[in-house]
Amino acid sequence: MENKNNVIHDVVKSMEFYRELGFEYLPVKEEDISDYLSGTGMSIAQEEPVPLKGDKRGEGQSLESLQEEMAGCCRCKLSGERKNIVFGEGHPDARLMFIGEGPGREEDIQARPFVGDAGKLLTNLIVKLGLKREDVYIANIVKCRPPYNRNPEDDEISTCISFVKEQINLIKPEIIICLGRIAAHALLEVKIPISKLRGNFSSYDGIPVMPTFHPAYLLRNPKDKWLTWDDMQKVLGKLKK
């Protein structure tokens, strides 16, 4: 009976997660799970919260100093059309750091990373990991919006990447999640397709790195949300060790 209850618990948690991410069906037959779901009377459970690390610096002034250093940056051509520098946001002692490629339109307007539709999906993912946005740190490889949301170019990445590397150095996260091909290629200095990189831990400066699909890609290809959740389960398992 205990094993059955454990299975029911896991199934219900998974179904609620997929519903929040926008899935309208599960790729299983109803008769395969109906016996487990009927008459359970169970409430939906969230993942257990992952505790934060102990504070290393107190106020986190070093990140603020780095942000001040970037103020008015004109180091590359992206500065010409931006509205705001999107430095990054989150807990200065985060155990988990998400790195995307660059700001989009809404991010450029609000000067915050991942606040559009892709940001909502990322926030849902963070919540299902048992965390809140303010518990993690979110940044991008380039800090200014590329025109028309094009991919950042090599010279723009090489000019800006030192800032995200310094953010990593200051935060010292336990795990980095690279969101999409560009972030993974820039940080790991590889050219392997994201479809082959994702799901396997790599390393940056001794820190485990999990490459996965970018939330914007998942909005266009919702079937691959399953793969991203598999990646996040590996991250969660390593965080809880």
- Residues 85-137: tens digit of each pLDDT: 999 999 999 999 999 999 999 999 999 999 999 999 999 999 999 999 999 99
- Residues 54-67: tens digit of each pLDDT: 444 444 458 999 99
What pLDDT does 59 receive? 42
Q: Which whole number is the average pLDDT over 168-174?
A: 97
Indicate the SS3 state at residue 89: strand
Q: Where are the alpha helices (DSSP H) in 189-224?
A: 194-197, 215-220
What pLDDT does 42 receive? 37
d(CA 132, CA 184): 23
Q: What percent of the chain has pLDDT over 70?
A: 75
Domains in the chain (CATH in brackets) are 1-45 (no CATH), 53-239 (3.40.470.10)
Q: Is 25's pLDDT higher than 70?
A: no
C-alpha angle 135/107/22, rounded to 5°?
A: 70
Record the tokens describing residue 186, joined without a space.
């820039």
Instruction: Give the residue among 162, 183, 174, 171 at the shortest CA–CA distance from 208.
Output: 174
Instruction: Give the residue among 16, 19, 25 at the shortest CA–CA distance from 47.
Output: 16
What pLDDT does 153 receive? 97
Band of pLDDT at residue 240, cut at 50, 70 and 90: confident
What pLDDT does 80 receive? 93
What pLDDT does 4 receive? 52
Please enumerate in sequence order all residues whose Cβ is within 8 A of that of 92, keeping only pairs 6 or more positions apart, or say none: 57, 60, 62, 63, 137, 170, 171
Q: Are 18 and 225 in contact (CB under 8 A)?
A: yes
Report the greatest alpha carbon distance in the chain: 64
What pLDDT does 241 receive? 73
Indicate the SS3 state at residue 23: coil
Give, in order, the Cα–Cα distances in Å from 53 to each of 24, 48, 50, 224: 37, 16, 9, 31
Q: Which whole number is the average pLDDT over 169-192?
A: 98
What pLDDT does 52 receive? 47
Q: Which whole number is the average pLDDT over 32-49?
A: 44
Q: Which whole number is the average pLDDT over 3-22?
A: 53
- Residues 131-165: tens digit of each pLDDT: 999 999 999 999 999 999 999 999 999 999 999 99
Record the tokens describing residue 210, joined without a space.
């999990």
